[in-house]
Structure 1
Amino acid sequence: MIDHATTPPEAAANRKLGTGLKQRHVTMISLGGIIGAGLFVGSSAAISTIGPATPVTYALAGLLVLLVMRMIGELAVSHPGVGSFTDFVRIGLGDLGGFVSGWLYAYFWLIVVAIEAIAGAAILQRWIPGPMWVIALALTVIMVGINCFSVKSYGEAEFWFASIKVAAIIAFIALGASYMFGWGRHDLSIGTNLMGDGGFAPFGIAAIVAGIPTVIFAICGAEIATIAAAESDEPAKSVAAMTKSVIVRVMLFYVLSMSVIVCIVPWRSIVPGESPFVAAMDVMNIPGAADILTIVVAVAVLSCMNSGIFVCSRVVFRLAEKHDAPHAMCVTTSKGVPRRAIIASGLVAYAAVGLSVVSPNGVFLFLVNASGAVMLLVYGLVAAAQLRLRLGYTKEEQDALPLKMWLFPGLTIFTIVAILAILVAMGLDAALRPQLVATLVATAALFVVYLARRTTDHRQSKSDSTTHPEEEEVR
C-alpha cells in the first residue's frame, strides 16, 4: 500500500480538481461527445453493410446508450460528489469493478486519442507538408497544452469545437430536408433509394441487429459530460440535465442525418471509408462539399483528442485517489489541474502513434482491437452496479430519488442482457471476433494485475503487522 506518511505536504495539499466549467460548457461537451469522425466518415461502413435500414440500427444503439445514461443519471444524483462515472461501478461492485472499469475506460480513450491524432495528421497533410508522426505529435502537444492550462480552457475549446460540429450537422439536415421536399431542380426518388435496390433491409433483419456493435462505438461519448460535470458549479444538476436529453441528440445527429443520406444517395454508391456526407452534398450540388467536410472532420478530430485527453487524465486521477494508479497522478496545480495525469496521458497516446508507424499490423493493431468491445463491457458494469445498488435501497429511499431509471428493474436487466447478446454476436462475427478476443485478453490482464497487487499489499501488510518494534527502530 502507498505510505501516505511519506507524501510531501505540498502534494497532499493539491489533490482537488477545479470547478471552472459552466453549464454551457457541460452542455456542449455532452453534445459534442457523440459527434466524431466516426459519424462523418465511419458511417459509410455501416450503410454499405446494412443498407437503407441503417438509421434503425443507429436508433437501436442509441436506445441502449440512452438506458445506460439514465442509469448514470440516477447514480449521479443518489451519490453526489462522485467524480467519475466509473466510480459508480466501484461503489456498486467493489474495488475490483472500479479498478477494471476505470482502466478499461482510460485505455479506450488513450487509443481513441492516438487514432484521432493519426486521422488528423492525414487530413492536415493536404495543407501542411511533413511526416505523419510529426504532425500527430504537434496535435497531441497542442491538446495537452490546452488541458494543462486550466479546466476552463478545455471547456472553452470544447465549447467551440462542439458548436462547429453541431452547427454543421444541423445545417446538413436542414439542407437535406429542403432538397428532399423540392429545393433545387432534380429528379430525386426517395422511394427508389429506400426500397428499389434490394428493399429497405437488403441484408435482412439480422443485419440491422448485427450492425449494432459497429455503430455503438460511434455513439458512445455522452458519458464524458458526467466526468466533466464534476468540475462544474452544479455537478448533479448538470448530469441530470444531460442524461434527460441524450435521446434528442442521438435522434438529431445520427438518426436524422443517416435518414437524410439514405433518402438522397443510392446506398450502393456509398464507398466504405469515404464520407457519405460528401456524397449527399455532391448530389445536392453544394460547391466545395469535400473541402467543407474536411474542415468539419478536422474540427471533430481536434475535439475528440481534446476530450479524450481530458477524460483519460480525470479517470487516472480518480484511480490514483483510490491507490489504483501512481500517487503522483492525483496531484493538481493551484488551478486544480491534474497536470501530471494529463501529460502522462498525452505521452502514452503518442507512444501508441509511434507503434502505428513501427508496427501497424502487429502491436498497434492489437491495441486497437483490444479497445473494440471496451465500452460495451464498461456500460455492462455500470448497469450491474446500478442494479445492485438500487435493489439495496429501501422503499423510502427509492421514492426519494429525484431521477430514476425507468421501469426498474426490468429495463436495467434488459440492458444487461442486450449488452451480453451484442458481445455474443461479436464473437460469432468473423470480422468482429478479433476485437472481442483482444478486449477480453486486455480485461483478463487487468484482473491479473489487480489480484497480484492485492496479494502484494496483503503480504506487505502482514509483514508490517509482524515487525517487532526494535526491528522497526533499527530500520
Structure 2
Amino acid sequence: MSKPDSQLTRNLKSRHILMMALGGTIGSGIFQGSSSSIHLAGPGVLVTYLVGGLILLVVMRGLAAMAVQNPHATTIKGLIDPILGHFTGYVSGWIYWLDWVLVMAAETAAASMFLQFWFPSVPLWVLALLISVGMTILNLTPVRVFGETEYWLAGVKILTLSLFVIFGAILLATRYSKHQVASNLVGHGGFFPHGIGGVAAAMLVVMFSFGGIEMIGMTLGETEDPTRTIPRAARGVIVRILLFYLLPIAVIVSLVPWSQLGSTQSPFVTVFSQIGIPYVGSIMNFVMLTAVLSAVNTGMYATSRMLYTQAMDGNAPKLFRKVTRGNVPVRALLFSTFFLYIGVVVAFFAKGNTFNDLMVIPGYTVMLVWMFLLASHWKQQGPKPTTILAFAALIAIFVAVIITSPLAGTIVSLVAVGLIMGSYLVARRADKH
C-alpha cells in the first residue's frame, strides 16, 4: 500500500551516515583502481591522493555548512536549488540520478563476475538478475534496514583495510630494513618516476575513486537531527577516507617496488600473497563482492531519493511521490531499477565499447555536482581562498578529463547533459501553456 503524503522518516543515525559515505567511496577504486593510479604515478601517487582529499575536504565542508543553513533540504539538489536557481537544481538532480543508474549497472555486472568465481556454471546474466532483484527487495524495506545493511557491508571493507595496514606495518617492522623501504620508494625512477604528468594522470583516477563521498547530502531528509549529524559526518568521513586510502597505498609502495605492480591485478592480492595469507584469491573476491554490492545498495538509495525529490519539486511525474507504509519511495525505486536492468543487459551484450562509452558519464556528472556544491557554497558564504582554490582545481581536473577521455564517451556525456538541460526548457514551456 502507498500513501499520498510523501513523507520520509528520520531513521538514519550518525553511524549509518558515516558508513554510507565510506561505503560509497571505499570500493573498487581502492581495491582495484589503485593499481592504475600507482602504475601512472609511482610512489608519488600518495601526493595525488592527499591533494584530491584536500579538494574534497573543501567540498564536504561547504556541503555541511549549507545543510546547517537549509535544514529543510532532503537531498543535494535541495542545497543547490535555492542558491544557484531552479535550472541548476533541476540539472544537478537529473545528472546525479543518471550517474548512479549507470554506476549501479556497472557494479551489478561486476558483482555477478565476482559471484561466478564460486559458481562458474551459472550464467552471468542469471547472477546479475538475482543480485538486482535481491538488492531491490532489500531497498523496499524501511530505511533503517538499508542503513544497517550498508553499515555492515562498509564494515567488511574497513576491516579489510585495517588488517591490511596492520599486517603490512608488522611486515615492514620485522622483515624489511630502512634501506629496502627507501629503495622501493625512490629506487625505481624516483618518488615521481613519471614526473608531474604521471601525477596529473593519476589525479583523474583518484578523483573518480572518491566519487560517492557526497552521498552524505542524499540522506538529509532521513537523518536524525541533520543540522548536527551532517556536519559531524562530513568532518569525520574525509579524515577516515584519507586514512583508508593513504595508509594502505603507503604500505603497498613501501613493500613492493611500484614497477612490479601490474596495472590490472589488485595490489592487495600481490601484498597479501607476499605476507603469506592463505586463500588470498577467495578472500579478496569476497571483499570485492561486498564492495560492489555496497555500491549497488547505495546507488538504489541515491536514485530513488533523487527521483522522489524531483517529483516533489514538480520536476518528475507526481506518481513518483508515493511512498510505502515503511516510508520508502517505492515507485521511484522501481523506475530507477528498471534502468538498472537495461544497463546490465547493455553491459553484458553490447558489442564494442558501448558500455565503456556510457561509463564515462559518471566521471563527468559527479564532478559537475561537486562544482555545483562548491559554487553554491561560494555564493552563500562569499569568496574564500580555500573555496576558490578547490573550485579552480576541479575545473582544471575537469578539463583534463575532457582531454584524456575517449571522444565517443565525451560526446555521449555532452548529449546526455544536453538532453537534460533541454528537457527543463520543454517542461517549463509546457507549464506556461
Q: Confirm or deny that 1:171 pairs with 2:163.
A: yes
Cα gap change, 1:445/1:80 in structure 2, threshold over 3 Å: closer, same or farther?
same
Task: State yes or no: 1:155 paired with 2:147.
Answer: yes
Quote the residue 2:392 is aligned against. Answer: 417
- Aligned position for 1:451: 425
Distance 2:268 2:178 in 1: 19
Tell me which amino acid in the other structure corresponds to 1:137: L
Q: Which residue of 1 aligns with 2:334?
A: 343
Please name the residue that 1:264 is paired with.
255
Q: Give the conservation status (yes or no) of the 8 Å contact 2:112–2:128.
A: yes
User: Does residue 296 of the first structure (1) align with residue 268 of the second (2)?
Assistant: no
Offset of 1:345 from its aligned partner?
1.4
* Structure 2 residue identity aligned to 1:441: V
Counterpart position of 1:190: 181
User: Shift of the alpha carbon at 1:229?
Assistant: 4.2
| TM-score for both structures, normalised by structure 1 | 0.87
Distance apart, 1:449 and its partner CA: 1.3
Cα offset, 1:434, TM superposition? 4.9
- From the superposition, tell whether residues 101 and 326 of structure 1 become closer, same or farther in structure 2 (CA, over 3 Å): same
- The aligned amino acid for 1:368 is M
Q: Do the aligned partners of residues 409 and 360 (structure 1) sit closer, same or farther apart at CA in structure 2, a change above 3 Å counting? A: farther
SS at match of 2:359: helix
CA–CA distance in structure 2, aligned partners of residues 221 and 368 of structure 1: 15
Query: 1:386, CA displacement in angstroms?
Result: 1.5
Superposed displacement of residue 389, structure 1: 2.2
1:425 maps to a residue whose letter is A
Q: Is the 8 Å Cα contact of residues 29 and 225 (structure 1) preserved in structure 2?
A: yes
Q: Which amino acid aligns with 2:334?
A: I
Within 2, Cα distance between the matches of 1:233 and 1:328?
A: 27
1:211-267 alpha-carbon deviations (Å, 9 max, x no partner): 212211111212212322431221121111111113311221111111111111111
Radius of gyration: which is bigger? 1
Letter in 2 for 1:102: G
Task: Measure how far apart 1:365 and its partner are.
Answer: 2.9
1:52 aligns with 2:43: yes
Aligned to 1:468: none
> Paired residue for 2:105?
114
Return the match for 2:228 from 222, 237, 262.
237
Among candidates 309, 312, 315, match of residue 318 of structure 1: 309
1:334 aligned to 325, 328, 348, which one? 325
Given the alignment, which residue of 5, 20, 30 partners 2:11?
20
Cα distance in 2 for partners of 1:61, 1:437 equals 26
What CA deviation, in whole Å up to 9, does each residue of 1:84-131 have, x standing for no partner?
Answer: 012211111111101111111111111111111111100111212311
One-letter code aligned to 1:329? F
Counterpart contact for 2:356–2:409, Cα < 8 Å: no
Q: Which amino acid aligns with 1:131?
A: P
Aligned residue for 1:89?
Answer: 80
1:344 deviates by 1.4
State which of 56, 61, 64 in structure 2 corresponds to 1:65. 56
Q: Is the 8 A contact 1:331 1:340 kept in 2?
A: yes
Tell me how far 1:188 sits from its aligned partner: 8.1
Deviations 1:405-453 (A, max 9, x none): xxx5222122221111111222332x45554443233212211111122
Which position in structure 1 is the counterpart of 2:379?
388
8 Å Cα contact 2:73/2:220 also seen in 1: no
Residue of structure 2 in register with 1:207 after alignment: 198
Question: How far apart, CA to CA, are the structure 2 residues paired with 1:254 and 1:355?
Answer: 32
Q: Over aligned residues, Cα RMSD in angstroms?
A: 1.8
The answer to whether the Cα contact below 8 Å between 2:18 and 2:237 also exists between their aligned partners in 1 is no
Partner of 1:397: none
For the 8 Å contact 1:99–1:450, the answer to whether it is kept is: yes
Tell me the secondary structure at the aligned position of residue 233 of structure 1.
coil
Task: Give deviations 1:273-313, integer Å, cap 9, x for gaps.
Answer: 21110111112222222221111111111111111101111
Quickly say closer, same or farther: Cα 1:23–1:423, change in 2 above 3 A. Answer: closer
**Alignment CA distance shift 1:342-1:159 (3 Å):** same
Contact 2:80 2:373 in 1 (8 A): yes
More helix by share: 2
Counterpart of 1:439 in structure 2 is 413
Query: Where do 1:210-225 residues align within 5 Å?
Result: 210-225=201-216
Cα distance in 2, alignment partners of residues 433 and 43 from structure 1: 24
Work out which of the residue numbers 364, 384, 396 in structure 2 matches 1:373. 364
User: What is the one-letter code of the residue matched to 2:415?
Assistant: V
Q: Which runs of 5+ in 2 are unaligned?
A: none
- Residue 47 of structure 1 and its aligned partner are, at CA, apart by 1.0
- Counterpart of 1:132 in structure 2 is 124
Contact 2:40–2:199 under 8 Å retained in 1: no
Q: Distance in 2 between matches of 1:264 and 1:360?
A: 40
| Structure 1 unaligned spans of 5+ | 1-9, 392-407, 461-475
> Matched residues in 2 for 1:174 and 1:94: separation?
48
Instruction: Give the counterpart letter for 1:155 in structure 2.
Output: G
Superposition TM-score, scaled by structure 2 size: 0.95
Amino acid at match of 1:12: P
Specify the SS of the correspondent of 1:68.
helix
Count of residue correspondences = 431
